[in-house]
Amino acid sequence: MTLMAVWMGLGALGYITGDPAHLDPVFRPKYNRHLTLVLSHGISSILALTAGPWQFWKRLRTRRRGLHRVLGYLYLSAIAVGASTGWVMGLMAEGGVLARVGFCLADGLWLFTDWSALQSARQHDFLAHRRWMIRSYALTFGAVWLRLFLYGLRWLGYDFNAIYPYISWLSWSTSLGLGEFILEGENHEKEVPPRSGLAPPGSNPIGLHTVG
């Protein structure tokens, strides 16, 4: 995931900062009219995409807490910019009302998970913080799914106008669904009792009352 995020991020950075003549003809007129907005959204989103995976690296969290915190604030700040500018771009999205609602809803959820992750960290509820960060990065990674669906289906011969409204929903909902699947798997692992049937040390499985 990390390698794909970095690879996609570098590719996207070259795309939006390169020669405008190389932009996709579908988006080129709008991007040229709103180039500052596009660059603000693109660069901040790429920063979030490439900084996010390192937040889940246990070694970094335990051994380099200061760096983990700095990267965390960088990630969350990038989302604040990326989601805000993305919401404005969503109002102008190709694909009609369906696509615009899909993109604006995704950006709203992106901001909400971003804020929730920050608040839970400030409250030292690191279990909740991790859960919100997984949801947040799942939405961030939706940009990768968007390109995979869009370019993959266009390569198969599907018309842009026919698929784009649905991809605007399918991209982030697929990624968020996978994030929830990961969280559900973690919950299931915690609920599975020990295979040996032995009670953990210090427990009182038969309910005896003890006197200290």
What percentage of the chain reaches a pLDDT higher than 70? 78
Give whole-number Cα distances, 164 to 32, 85, 146, 161, 167, in Å: 20, 20, 9, 6, 5
**Mean pLDDT, the chain, whole residue set:** 83
**Helices 65-90 and 35-51, packing angle to 10 deg:** 150
Residue 71, pLDDT > 70, answer yes
49-58, 83-92, 153-162: segment of lowest average pLDDT: 49-58
Q: What is the pLDDT of residues 16-34, one digit of tens each?
A: 666 777 777 888 888 888 8
Tell me what the mean pLDDT of segment 185-191 comes to: 66
What mean pLDDT is predicted for residues 76-88?
Answer: 94
Total-model pTM? 0.79
